[in-house]
Each structure stands twice: as structure tokens, then as C-alpha cells.
A and B are shown apart, each in its own frame.
Chain A
Amino acid sequence: MAQQTYLILTAGFLIRWVLPTIFPSITTILDKSVLFSTPISSFRSLQEGIFLLSNSIDPYNGEIVHFPPLLLLVFSKISQLDLVFAALDTLTGYLLVQINKKTNYSAKYSSWIIAAFYALNPLAILTTLSKSTTVINNLTLLYVFHQVLSKNYKSSVISLAVSSYLTYYNWYFVVPVLYSIYQNTASKHAVIRSIALYLASISALLYSSYVLTNNSFRFLYLNYCSTVLFKKIIPNIGLWWYFFTEIFEFFNSFYLAVFNIYSFIFVIPLTLRFPNDLLFASWILIGFLNFAKPYPTVTDLNLFYSMLIVFKVYYKKLKFSPFLSYVGITIILTLLPVFYYVWMCLNSGNANFFYAIGLVLSVLQTIIVSDFLWSKIQTEYFQEQGLDLDAIVKLTQI
């Protein structure tokens, strides 16, 4: 069985490696697509950063490069980008398999199904080929979950620090991770130690970046403030861009605050509501963030929909089967570039078409997230009451 898993993962790796070598233009095409790239994470800005760095022009002088300096430095040393991205994404698949193994759910898929699901998932393959840095973000987040499940708390906290250094919104996962540490060790000291470790690692990363960029804190502004303050208004599949284009500047700061609070609002409630299943809470959080954050891409969606397969145990009580959700998402994801093309290239439609489909995507994700939540709540109730999951009991909430 294990051999089969590795075989499938290797096949996935080869697909991810060979495809861009045969069709090198595929990365450019995907990178230009609105689904896979934002100014914050696109491969062409990464290339630009590397180019500027290698020509000794300060990449943090302008506003093209929004990557942390250490990431840029690492990538400027790598020559085989196709290989690296293929390896990173295969590692993500491997971590998904490991996470599935480590969970204690009563029903789960066998490893090779998970491996096949990720390795051959067209969405995952396309995200790898787009070479957006969000691929790395996905990997680090899964690594954090994996380390928490393996009870390697120190390494989980450090990897979470790395993850939040790379992407601003990942610090939200500090709450479930710390809570899980508290649950398992039952000591406040461990939590405080973890917080200290997290802060220390983040400071170390930021300080080294500070030194690396000639003692300038401009990278902080470029990496994090431009995300939080939504400085680059460019169409994407999220909710923010049209809102902030259209509102009057007078309200800008108010709504920035509202939108940022909105993205954070369920972090603590979800953790407190599902203390026994923090992986699920984190996963729902990822799903919520996918439409609550300023620069979502399909690569972010990919993390959510890939992790969906781990939660087989909740499929039973769903209103809409995961298959149905996948079909819905696929339809929307096909419509999005079409409407974008109609707006940007043909000029026969305007921004509203693309925006409307983006809204539908958000509604669909809301439905999927709340469906899973309700299924989880029902399953919990059945377990508490000692009922059989197949028993016909209609539940409601008051």
C-alpha cells in the first residue's frame, strides 16, 4: 500500500516537472491568468525581483516586488525552478497523506486515494505550473498542521513563524496551534514558551531581512502593509477589489478596518467551538479566509479543496455531496476567466460580469463551509448522544 502511494506521488511529481519542460509557455499563460496570480504572489514579479537583485538594483525601491527578502534570496540562488516547484507541490501531497494517516477520524480514505487525489488533481497541477509563491504558503501551512498532529510542538511553532513570515494571514493560525498545544500539554508554561518561541523566530526572520535589505524596513511595508491596506487594487477572485475601487476614498480606512476585522473574526470562535478537532477548525478557517482575504487565488482554494478529502467522516451529513461542490466550483472557475476575458480583451462586457461571478464563487464557498460546519455539528451531536450516524434523527438549532 505504501509503495503504491509513493508511486502515485512520483507520477504526480513527474507530471509537474515534465509538463513545464515540454511546454515552457504554460507558466506564462497561467501566470497571466487572473485565477492564478495576484501582484502579491505572481511568478513574474518574483522573476522581476530576482532580475533586479542580480543586477544590483534594489528590488524594494519600487513597488513591484512584494516578497520577503529571504524568499527572494533563496529563489535567486535556484536555477531549476520547474524542478523545485514540482518537488514542493509533491511534498504538499505527501504531507496531506501523512496528515490523513495521523488523524483519528472514524472514517477516512486510504493513503493511496489521497495521494492520487492530490497528485492527479488538475487544480493542484495547474497551481504548481503557475509557480505562484502561494504554493509555498500551502506547503508551510500543511507542514504546521502535520507537526501539530505529530505533537512536534516546537517545530510546528517555528514553521508557523516561517509561514506567517511568508504570508501575512497565516499568523491567524497561531490561535488554534497554541490551543492545541495547551490541550495536549495542559500547562500554561508550554503555551508561554511557544509564544516566546514564535515571537523569537519571527523576530529573527524579520531582523535578518532587515539586515539583508540594507537596514531598511521598507520590505515590511511592501510585504505586509500592502496586503493589509490593500494597496494593489487589481481584479482577483476575492471580494475586496471591486469594493475598494468603487467606494469613495473618504471611507477607505473605515472599510479597510472592517474587512480586516472580518477576516479575523472567526479565528477564536472556531477554535473554542471545536476544541476536539482543531484541524477541522483550521480547515474551516482556511475556507473562510479564501474569500475574506484581499488577494485570494485558485492556489489558495486548492489548499481548501485538497484538504476536503481528509474529512470523509463528515461527508455523511452533508446537504450537498463534495462531488457536487467540486462541479459547482469547476463551473465557476471556468466562467471566471471567460468573463475576465470578455471584460479585458474583447471589451464586450464590463467589470460587473467578472465581479458577479466572483460573488457567486464567494456564495458557493460560504455554502460549502457552512454545510461542512453543520455536518460537523450534527456528527458531534450524534456522538454525544451515542446515536448511530445512520439513525434518522432530524436536528435543528435554536
Chain B
Amino acid sequence: MNSAVLVVLLLVRLCSATLSYPFEESLEFKPLKSNNLLASFNFKLNSSEFQLYQPKGETLHYSVFSKLLGPILQETNTRELHLRFSQGWYDAEVYGELPAKGGQSGGTGVELWSVIEGTDDESVFHDWIRLVNSLSGLFCASLNFIDSDSTTYPVTVFQPKSQLLQQNSLENDLYLLRSALPREPVCTENLTPFLKLLPTKGKAGISSLLTGHKVFNSQWSSMSIDITTHCSETGCHYEMDQSIKLILNVPLALERNEMPIPKPTPGSKLKCDPSKFFDAYHCFPLDEVSELDYSLLDLFGKQIQGGALISNTPTKVCADINKKAWNIDVNSSTNVDLHDENGKTCFTITDSENYNIHFKSSNTSEIAPLPAPPIYASRSLSGYSQDSGGFRIDLTNPTDEDSKIIIFESTPWFVRIYLHTLTITVNSTNTYTVDDPEFDTLLNGIIYNPAIDRKKPSHLELLVTIPAHTKVKLALQFDKSMLLYAEYPPDANHGFEIEPAVISVLDKDTNDVVYQMRTTTALLTLPTPDFSMPYNVIILTSTVMSLAFGAIFNLLIKRTVTEEEAERKAKSASSKIRDRLKQRVQSVKNVFKR
């Protein structure tokens, strides 16, 4: 009896000792201007150690690291993987600087870059295609459409994050490949596999808040996965950072709870501006509400269902608020210890109770200081015709120092860029073309790989210096190719998405990327043929060609005679035929006479 108790006790002891994995999760809320709320979910986990060059057939144990991802990375020699799913528009003037300095957000659609080890271009590209196909199945995204015509090899940006490069233990070279799918709609089916990679699987911890219809109702959302390989003397392990950043417009989210089907606000609920005339038919709505009271249950439809108890550090939830105007209250059956951490109000979750956070504010416009981004950028298409156009990138440096930035652009092959048309306009007054000497002081370097039809996209990296408090406009012209009949997607007149330009601000001294942002995607319309015409075109073109051929052929080959001569010949020919016919008829008659 005693020994049995001892064994049970020992087991419990053992389990509690081993039930702690290298997993960390944290959630942070930050109210922004105009009643927006930034929610960042961060997850960090490590795999157990393995050898980089594992003999085939050996089994591996990944611990909390996903068993789905591990073999894919091993098989394709992927040393680093970065995946982004984003949607919506990030309005930097309202939301301020991107969370994590833009290091964890992508452009609209799906973005993927990875560092692959290999001997030559071909084998690396082969691995890359296998990688994107596997990931496509894993994340239910059209990553399998990534091919050589959308893959670029960035030179100055997207550099590997881990220190793997400095190590001599690598057997082969490292290659950096990148691709983006701007047309991909990010949706619930991408979120579900994303959560499945976590050891908590979205059932416990902060990830229990995440449900598809709430996450994608946000103004802007970005899911990111960053996997890096780190090696020590004993072996290597993967480090995975997963994050979801959301910007929710709180009044919109609350309204959606009340009225799932959007309807106009009933007159009784309209708040009109009392300083202006209003009656049953006229109303100038008041500006945004300034008093708000909401909870996680309102925003996510759920509460935090306990902490991630298998992790070695407890789940942490923080709120970055201005305490003068905001009040936070945590509802739970256990006592919650709210404490200050770097000016943020935080608490940890160490049990499996439900937690709900109440946000209450008397003046929502008073928020914690919002750092402004070091750069504002937007890209637009210029030109009005379907056969040519131009890119225009507007950059503003609001800081007090000159800043060095890199513009990374990758455009599909059917955009035929003319780099010599590049002009730089400073403060909308001075325009410099490529021949001007001032041009080189602003544009310090160009990396350009022109496109190859149906095989390679154009890849452009521009190193630009923007003086302090200056607006710079870059303009570039291009032609649009026509595609073949079958190459147009359904609804060809919708246009083609051009992936966002990636703008990276560099550190002055070290040239490391300190801030990164993406512009919006651009919608490009291409010239379209008439899709109902193939048969007609073949017939008409062939008719004209044979007409020309026939006319010239006849003229070259026939004998020239006078008209009388021709008639005589024709007559003699026809009379001959008549005689011959008569003879035949006569012979037939003779047969019957007998």
C-alpha cells in the first residue's frame, strides 16, 4: 500500500518536473487613436536539439515544436522560414509605428521568405518548390502557385536573422528566396492551422481568444511565423516566433455584436451634433464616442481560458494604457495581481480559470504615447491606359535626421519596367532624372534584375537617402505586356495585383534594418483580348493571308495573254469537251440499240 502511494507520488513528481516546455506566450493590448485597439499575441517556442545533418531514417523528437513543420524543414534543408499572412490597411497616421517595428508584419496577402542550404541554384530552387508545396497544404493557402515567375533572391533586405551564417559548420551555401502572393485572401482556414502549430492548439492560454470571424473582422491583421535555426556545440534547435497582430475598431466590433447584419443606425439611437440644426430628417452625427466600456468577451466573444500550463514561463497579459483616462479590471474566480511593468499594467495566469478583461475609459482619445513611424510611404499607379503606366512611390521622412532606406520591389514579368525613366522629386519642387548629378546623391545604389517572360519577375532594390523633414517622390514608367488567351485568369478585367513594395529604414552606422513597412498592393489592369474571338480571328487572319498569297501566286505563275486569245482558247477548250461528250453519248446509245 505504502509503496503504491510512493510510486504515484513519484510519478506525480516526475510529471510535474517534465511538464515544462520551452514555450512562452504573451498578450498585449494597446488602445490607439480613434477608438482603435491593438492586440498583439506573441508565442515563442523552441524545439529539442537535433543534428543539422541527420542521417536519413532516424526518428526525431521535436517536443513542443510542431511535428508537422519539423520534417518539412528537415527535408527541404530550410534553415530559416518567415511566413506572413496579412490583410487590411495599416494607417500609420492613426495607428502609429507598426508593432515590433514592422518586423512581424507582412504585406496584404501571403508573403514567404526562407533561407535554404544547398549546393547550387537548381537544387535550392527544387527544395524551395517542395517547401512551398508542403506549406501550401499545411496552411491551406495557395502557396503552391509560387514558381520561378514570382521568386526573387533579395540582396540587401530580408537577411537571415540567426547567426548561422557566421558558423563554419555548414556543409553548403545558404540561399535566400522570397515570394509573395498579393491576391491571396487571408481567412479562417489559414488561422486554424496556424493555431494548431501551438502546443496549446488554441484551447488554452491566450490563443483561446482567437476565432476566425472575430480576428478577420479587424481593420488590419497580420499573422507571422518566424523559424530560425540556432546551433551550439552539442546540436541545433529551431526557434519559432509566432505572432498575431490585430487592430480592432472597438465601436465597430461592438456594433457588430448588437447587429450582426449591418443596418443603418435607427433614428432614435443617432447622436446628433447639438450645435447644428437637427430634427427627424436632419442630423449631423457627433464625432466618435469618447466614452467606452468593453471587455474581451465583447471583442472576441470569448474569455481567456486559463494559462498555457505546459510552458516554463506563465502566460502574461499586459495593457499599455494611459492610466489617467483608462481603467482596467480583470474578472476571474481567482485573485489577480495587477502590477506595473515598464509602464504597462500586467498580470500572469497560472491556473486554468477563465479570465475576462474590462476596459473602461472616460476619454478614449487619451492614450499611452504612440511612437510615430520613422517613415511614411505610399505607392500608387499612374497613367490611364492599359498598355503602359507608371509607379509612383511617395516617401516622407518626418524625423530630424537624414534616413537611409531601401525600397524593395518585385513586379511580375508582364510589367516591363524602364529603369531609365526613374525620376526623383524632392518636396514636389525639384525633379531629377537619371542624368542629373543630384540624382546620385539621393539614390545611392541600384540592384536590378530585369524580368524574363513567364520565368522571372523584375527585382529592384533602391538605396535612397531622404533628408530630414523631406518628401521624396520616385516615379518609374513601365509597359504592360499582353498575355496569351489561356493565361488570363477568370474575370481578367478585374486586374492583377502587384505585391507591396517593402520599405526598410536602415540604421545609419550598422546598416541593419531598424524599421520595415509595406505599401498597399496595386491593382494593375492589362490589355485584354476579346475572349470570344479565337475562331473568328483564326478565320479572318487566315483569309487575309491566303488572299494575299493567292493573288501574288496567281500573278507570278500564270501565263499572260490578251483577252481575245484567252477567249479563243477557252472556246476551243469548251468545244472540245462538248465533242467528247457527244461521242460518249453516241457510244452509249449504240450499246442500247444492239
Report A's interface with B, CB cutoff 8 A: 32, 34, 39, 44-45, 47-48, 50-52, 55, 57, 59, 61-64, 231-235, 239, 241-249, 262, 265-266, 269-270, 273, 284, 288, 291-292, 343-345, 347, 350-352, 355, 359, 362-363, 365-366, 369-370, 373-374, 377-378, 380-381, 393-398
Smallest beta-carbon distance A156→chain B, Å: 25
The residue of chain B having its C-beta at the shortest distance from the C-beta of A362 within the complex is B544
Contacts of A398 in B (CB 8 A): 558-559, 561, 566, 569-570
Q: B531 to nearest A CB, angstroms?
A: 9
**Is B147 an interface residue when CB atoms closer than 8 A count as contact?**
no
Contact partner, B552, options A50, A352, A373, Cβ 8 Å: A373
Contacts of B570 in A (CB 8 A): 398
Asked whether, in the complex, the Cβ of B481 is within 8 Å of the Cβ of A234, the reply is: yes
Q: Which residues of B contact A355 (CB under 8 A)?
A: 537
Stretch with Cβ within 8 A of A (4 or more), from B213-221, B322-330, B350-358, B384-392: B384-392
- Binary CB contact string for chain B from 131 to 166 against chain A (1 if under 8 A, 0 otherwise): 000000000000000000000000000000000000
Kindly report which residue of chain B lies nearest to residue A37, judged by CB atoms. B479
Q: Which of A34, A284, A347, A380 has the most CB of B within 10 A?
A: A347
- Is residue B482 within 8 Å, beta carbon to beta carbon, of the partner chain? yes
Measured between alpha carbons, how far is A140 from B570 in the docked complex, in Å? 48
6 closest pairs, A vs B, by CB? A62-B450, A51-B420, A397-B558, A366-B548, A370-B551, A246-B534
- Inter-subunit contact A246/B453 (CB<8 Å): no
Report Cα–Cα, A233/B527, bound state, in Å. Answer: 11
Decide if A350 touches B530 in the complex (CB within 8 Å): yes
B interface, over-half SS: mixed
- Are A47 and B418 touching (Cβ within 8 A)? yes
CB nearest neighbor in A for B485: A246
B446 CB–A CB distance under 8 Å: yes
Residues of B within 8 A of A362 (CB): 544, 548
Give the shortest distance, in Å, between A395 (CB) and chain B (any CB): 6
On chain A, the residues within 8 Å of B482 by CB distance are 233-235, 241, 245
List the count of A-B residue pairs having beta carbons below 8 Å apart. 181
- Contact residues on B (Cβ < 8 Å of other chain), bracket: 35 or more
B449 touches A397 (CB 8 A): no
The docked-state distance in angstroms from the alpha carbon of A377 to that of B554 is 12
Q: Which residue of A lies closest to B534 (CB)?
A: A246
Q: Tell me the bound Cα distance from A59 to B477 in angstroms.
A: 17
Report the minimal beta-carbon distance from B589 to chain A, rounded to whole angstroms.
Answer: 35
Tell me whether B84 is interfacial, beta carbon within 8 Å. no
A359 touching B540, Cβ below 8 Å: yes
**Counting chain A CB atoms within 10 Å of each CB, which of B413, B545, B548, B556 scores highest?**
B548
* Given A62-B450, A344-B527, A352-B533, A52 and B562 contact (CB-CB distance below 8 Å): no
Measured CB to CB, the nearest residue on chain A to B451 is A62
Given contacts A44-B418, A248-B486, A352-B530, whether A242 and B537 have CB atoms under 8 Å apart is yes
Return the CB mask of B384-413 against A: 1 if under 8 Å, else 0.
111110000000000000000000000001
* Given A48-B420, A344-B386, A351 contacting B485 (CB threshold 8 A): no
Are A378 and B529 in contact, with the CB atoms below 8 A? no
Q: Smallest CB–CB gap between A29 and chain B, Å? A: 12
Q: Are A351 and B529 closer than 8 Å at their CB atoms?
A: yes
How far, in whole Å, are A249 and B485 apart by their CA atoms in the complex?
A: 9
**Are B418 and A233 within 8 A (Cβ)?**
no
CA distance A140 to B261 in the complex (A): 73
Which chain B residues lie closer than 8 Å to A345 at the CB level?
384-386
State in angstroms the CA–CA spacing of A269 and B385 once bound together.
Answer: 44
Instruction: Tell me, yes or no, whether B348 is within 8 Å of chain A by CB.
Output: no
